[in-house]
Amino acid sequence: MRTQVGIVGCGPAGLFLAHLLHRAGIESVILESRSRADVEGTIRAGVLEHWVVELMHQMGLGERMKREGHFHTGITLQWNRQRLHLDMEELTNGKKVTVYAQHEVLKDLIAARLADGGEILFSVSGTAIRDVDTDRPFITFRRGAEGAEERLDCDYVIGADGFHGPGRQAIPASQRTEYQKIYPFGWLGILARAPLSWHELIYANQGEGFALLSTRSPEIQRMYIQCDPKDDIANWSDRRIWDQLHARLATEDGWQLQEGEIFQKGIIPLRSFVCEPMQYGRLFLAGDAAHIVPPTGAKGLNLAVADVLVLSRALEEKYRRNSSEKLERYSATVLRRIWKGERFSWYMTTMLHRNEGETPFEQRIHLADLDFVRTSRAAATALAENYVGLPFDE
């Protein structure tokens, strides 16, 4: 097999890149280790920055999102049983975010890519990236577990295959530096059939720590609470979860959280991670293969799309004008945005969670940070600008 750009990974980075390249007349093939059903069935939250929503509409991929997404002009911060509405639309000259789950985005992208005649090979195994330090890189793989080894020759290889994929490992360890922070807390997330409790996302630091209330649909609510990442989900009965949500979201005005049937729950750890550089020879990393953020700042999918938007423009310049300038500075360009996203995610995470390793002094500083957002328009604007999506600096 032969293509111009070989993409490993059928997540947001890989799919957005394939669509952007197709619009520029550049061929690509996506290789994915999971089945299509597994990719589309992995439930993940999704807060889309303003510019990502605009990009999806420009690409003709936003119709279902427009019908089913939830468009938020602000968020609510809560501490000490008091709430602060942060009017992001007013603070950022009309920008807002859209709550539309990541797996729904993937469904739309996969269907559109296949309708365009794009090639996505699902359920491949044994994927290996070869010779990226030459001008003839290739990828070997098997279709299914028992298929014969095949070879995909390409001009460039994109590792958009997540933290555990072969993409990052194809950069020699001596040529990359990895930065990581493991947080001492995780998130217990639930999906519940319950009525809408609040009109926008609530981020709370109250009681025993963090809680997040968000909406999947008018009938389905998504909620999270801070917990020990090593805890067993069996220790969390539905009643215990609801009791903690009530305690962490309670207010002085008599507002009541609406309960319902919990039909999914699980615990995820939190970490921050960055790999530098994000390119080696003809291999380029994008998305979770190169960087991970805790979900508190709602930056994961958005950073992945930013990576491939920059990368698609660089590849287009190479194929149309035979200029490698943008490709050569791809890593430096996207890392500037990534580190700002990492900073914001760390800021939101440390401000809104209870860390038993911190002193009471540090915990009070986090409450002062929240009060600073309440009393300072500059602080509120900075938070809002980061949340809706920073401008591009290429």
Domains of the chain by start residue, with CATH: 5-72+96-179+271-355 (3.50.50.60)
Residues whose CB is less than 8 angstroms from the CB of residue 344 and which lie 6 or more positions away in sequence, other chains included: 297, 299, 386, 387
Q: Could you count the other beta carbons within 10 Å of the beta carbon of residue 192? A: 23
Of the pLDDT bands very low, low, confident and very high (cuts 50, 70, 90), residue 146 is confident
User: At how many degrees (to 10) do helices 360-375 and 377-388 cross?
Assistant: 90
The residue assigned the tokens 């960055």 is: 274
Of 26-30, 39-43, 99-103, highest mean pLDDT: 26-30
Query: Once rounded to an integer, what is the mean pLDDT over residues 259-268?
Result: 96
Q: What is the pLDDT of residues 195-237, one digit of tens each?
A: 999 999 999 999 999 999 998 888 999 999 999 999 999 999 9
pLDDT of residue 132 exceeding 70, the answer is yes
pLDDT digits (tens, 9 = 90+) for 45-88: 789 999 999 999 999 999 999 999 989 999 999 999 999 999 99
Q: Provide, rounded to the nearest whole percent, the portion of the chain with pLDDT above 70.
A: 99
Average pLDDT for residues 12-38, to the nearest whole number? 97
pLDDT band at residue 254 using 50, 70 and 90 as cut-offs: confident
Calculate what percentage of the chain has a pLDDT beyond 90: 94
In whole angstroms, give the CA distance from residue 249 to residue 194. Answer: 16
Chain mean pLDDT for the chain? 96
Catalytic residues: 72, 203, 295, 299, 387
The reported pLDDT for the residue numbered 144 is 87
145 pLDDT band, cuts 50/70/90, is: confident
Q: Is residue 394 very low, low, confident or very high in pLDDT (cuts 50, 70, 90)?
A: low
Is the pLDDT score of 44 beyond 80?
no
Task: State residue 342's pLDDT score.
Answer: 98
Stated pTM of the model: 0.95
